[in-house]
């Protein structure tokens, strides 16, 4: 098929568009969104996605809390977020329409699967009347399409069951949208053939559904125009679409390759961190050993064992899994061995809303252990940035002989964006040295970074004791001496604080001093950056600083905060970084907090900037 629909319909050029696919979990909207984003990636456009899963497993069909969604913003320019409000909503049932319509822009396109608007489904969605016929959708461009019936008719001779035919309607929707937004389907057909290579009937049916949806959009007089994104200017190089969890996994593999140290992951599956374990399990040919543990404690304890044995070791978790690892984290700290703990944060407390995002584990990462137990903490800010953050976490761990906590979030772990695959030669070197010389060896003797030596078990003449009891300052023997305990606590804290000397100068976007500085961390980066750009374009004097390193904080941060009259801190929690900045710098920061299990909208931060300016 051609790049554009073969019709006399005019083509409208766009600079950006936000599209959201929503329906029941069984409607395949995640797959539809993923495949559409792949088509956008192949076209070379900038994009960002936001998958949104229901928290209940197999929630009842047609219910408001069973809606699953996938949003993508793509553009001819740089994209920071998946978008505030959809320009286009594709809704497969009344519940999907009910829960998502309030987000759609006034005058936006609403495409609905009209056959799903039965009396029973309307009742489940708490509709008193059918919104497709009661004029309640005035203000939107509504296109009712009987997607289910059209798919069923196209596949009448497919040899599939009624249920199997019903599962193909997502590909009809995909074909419809690819035609409407001028994307060819050739590569998608190839992908379907590969995906369902062992199920040729399913592959043929999905391809036919895709073609039927494309042909319907091409032939119908329902749509007045088709859409074409303007050409994008991108930095030369090889790109791929990548999720945060995929990037995290590849970052650890790269660290293993750069250091020459085998990689070990010991983890218990938990949403939304499970994909990191899955990705690394598939990369065993890169000297990766993966261990799916029976619980969180076994996961981190196996990681401690692997790190003690000389492997580059990590464990992954989310939500309450981090609490279960707390005791073993203290053990790793007192042993002073290198390992990384990845927390893909989700909404809490307790089980919370496990498929939704939040930034509420920051103080837990900083302080959530017994005793004086300092651990470096760094935070990734986007899906692609997870690769660099994983590399940095490993570098700190092996250089300073310490566990490191890497914070990502559900909103970036599951989301995707384009990633410029780096030149291997450009990646930072990561030198690892195991001590093998027994002459003068003391297990807790330290180098200029206050790091002790990494000694693999079985190294001749270098046997030493490990355990959770306090160590003698040099020998590592059990010590209950009060002054030695003070010295060891001070030394471990000084080692972590000293990591700040490795940080480059903090990068402030905008004026170096003035009225307002916006400070963020983690996934708020995209929303803050776009809000800052918009405010700057409007002539507002506002600066922006995003933090990668949370413990220790950058050495120049205090001076930077002091150069501005007001400091705004947007967070997806009730003010955890704000507490930290007040404590460290006596800075009366202004909080902007959101705990709705959703990312910030750009408009929410932009509006607050305008109020403060």
pLDDT of 348: 96
d(CA 114, CA 94): 9
Strands (E) across 257-298 are located at: 263-267, 288-292
SS3 207: helix
pLDDT of residue 1: 40
Band (pLDDT 50/70/90 cuts) for residue 114 is very high
The fold adopted by the segment(s) 514-612 is Rossmann fold (3.40.50)
Task: Give me the DSSP letters along 288-311.
Answer: EEEEE-SSHHHHHHHHHHHHHTT-
Q: Is the dihedral of CA 62, 63, 68, 72 positive or negative?
A: positive
- Which among 358, 435, 450, 462 has a CA at the least distance from the CA of 402? 450
- Which region, left, alpha or beta, applies to residue 476 given φ > 0 means left and ψ of -120 to 50 means alpha? left
CATH architecture of the domain formed by 240-425: 3-Layer(aba) Sandwich (3.40)
pLDDT, tens digit (0-9, with 9 covering 90-100), for 145-167: 999 999 999 999 999 999 999 99
Query: pLDDT tens digits, residue range 246-280?
Result: 999 999 999 999 999 999 999 999 999 999 999 99
Q: Comparing 11-229 with 240-425, is the CATH topology the same?
A: no
Give the pLDDT band of residue 8 (cuts 50, 70, 90).
low
Weakest-pLDDT range from 257-266, 455-464, 494-503, 556-565? 455-464
The full set of domain ranges for the chain reads 11-229, 240-425, 514-612
Say which CATH superfamily domain 11-229 falls into: Pyruvate-ferredoxin oxidoreductase, PFOR, domain III (3.40.920.10)
Band (pLDDT 50/70/90 cuts) for residue 418 is very high
Distances (CA, A) of 512 to 490, 503, 508, 559: 35, 19, 7, 11
> Mean pLDDT over residues 206-232, rounded?
94
3-class DSSP assignment, residue 605? helix
Q: Which residues contact 192 (CB under 8 A, 6 or more apart)?
A: 171, 203, 206, 207, 210
């Amino acid at each position: 098929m051609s790049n554009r629909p073969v019709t006399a319909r005019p083509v409208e050029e766009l600079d950006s568009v936000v599209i959201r696919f929503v329906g029941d979990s069984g409607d395949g909207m995640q797959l539809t969104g993923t495949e559409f984003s792949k088509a956008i990636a192949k076209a070379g456009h900038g994009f960002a996605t936001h998958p949104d899963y229901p928290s209940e497993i197999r929630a009842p069909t047609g219910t408001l809390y069973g809606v699953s969604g996938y949003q993508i913003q793509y553009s001819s320019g740089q994209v920071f977020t998946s978008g505030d409000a959809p320009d286009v909503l594709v809704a497969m049932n009344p519940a999907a329409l009910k829960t998502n319509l309030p987000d759609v822009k006034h005058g936006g396109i609403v495409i609905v699967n009209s056959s799903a608007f039965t009396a029973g489904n309307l009742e489940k969605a708490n509709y008193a009347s059918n919104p497709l016929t009661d004029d309640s959708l005035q203000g939107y461009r509504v296109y009712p399409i009987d997607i289910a019936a059209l798919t069923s008719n196209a596949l009448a001779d497919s040899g599939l069951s009624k249920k199997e035919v019903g599962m193909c309607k997502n590909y009809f929707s995909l074909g419809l949208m690819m035609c409407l937004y001028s994307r060819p389907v050739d590569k998608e057909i190839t992908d379907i053939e590969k995906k369902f290579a062992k199920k040729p009937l399913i592959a043929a049916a999905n391809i036919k559904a895709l073609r039927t949806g494309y042909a319907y959009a091409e032939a119908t007089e329902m749509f007045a125009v088709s859409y074409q994104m303007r050409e994008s200017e991108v930095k030369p190089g090889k790109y791929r679409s990548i999720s945060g969890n995929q990037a995290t996994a590849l970052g650890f593999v790269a660290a293993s390759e750069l250091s020459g140290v085998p990689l070990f992951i010991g983890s218990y599956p938990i949403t939304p961190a499970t994909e990191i374990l899955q990705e690394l399990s598939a990369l065993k040919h890169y000297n990766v050993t993966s261990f799916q543990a029976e619980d969180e404690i076994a996961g981190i304890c196996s990681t401690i064992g692997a790190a003690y044995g000389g492997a580059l070791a990590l464990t992954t978790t989310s939500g309450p899994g981090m609490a279960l690892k707390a005791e073993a984290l203290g053990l790793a700290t007192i042993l002073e061995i290198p390992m990384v703990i990845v927390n893909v944060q989700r909404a809490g407390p307790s089980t919370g809303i496990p498929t939704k995002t939040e930034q509420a584990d920051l103080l837990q990462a900083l302080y959530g252990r017994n005793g004086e137990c300092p651990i470096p903490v760094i935070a990734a800010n986007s899906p692609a940035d997870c690769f660099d953050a994983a590399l940095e976490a490993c570098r700190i761990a092996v250089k300073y002989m310490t566990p490191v906590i890497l914070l990502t979030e559900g909103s970036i772990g599951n989301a995707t964006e384009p990633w410029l695959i780096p030149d291997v030669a450009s990646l930072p070197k990561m030198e690892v040295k195991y001590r093998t010389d027994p002459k003068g060896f003391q297990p807790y003797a330290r180098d200029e970074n206050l790091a002790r030596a990494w000694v693999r078990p079985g190294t001749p003449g270098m046997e030493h004791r490990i355990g959770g009891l306090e160590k003698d300052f040099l020998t590592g023997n059990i010590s209950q001496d009060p002054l030695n305990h003070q010295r060891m606590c001070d030394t471990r804290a000084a080692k972590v604080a000293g990591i700040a000397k490795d940080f480059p100068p903090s990068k402030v976007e905008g004026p170096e001093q003035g009225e307002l500085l916006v400070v963020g961390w983690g996934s708020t980066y995209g929303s803050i950056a776009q809000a800052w750009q918009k405010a700057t374009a409007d002539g507002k004097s506002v600066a922006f600083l995003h933090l990668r390193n949370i413990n220790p904080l950058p050495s120049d941060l205090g001076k930077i905060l002091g150069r501005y009259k007001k400091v705004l801190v947007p967070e997806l929690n009730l003010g955890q970084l704000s507490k930290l900045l007040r404590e460290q710098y006596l800075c009366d920061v202004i909080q902007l907090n959101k705990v709705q299990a959703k990312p910030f909208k750009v408009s929410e931060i932009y509006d607050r900037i305008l109020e403060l300016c």
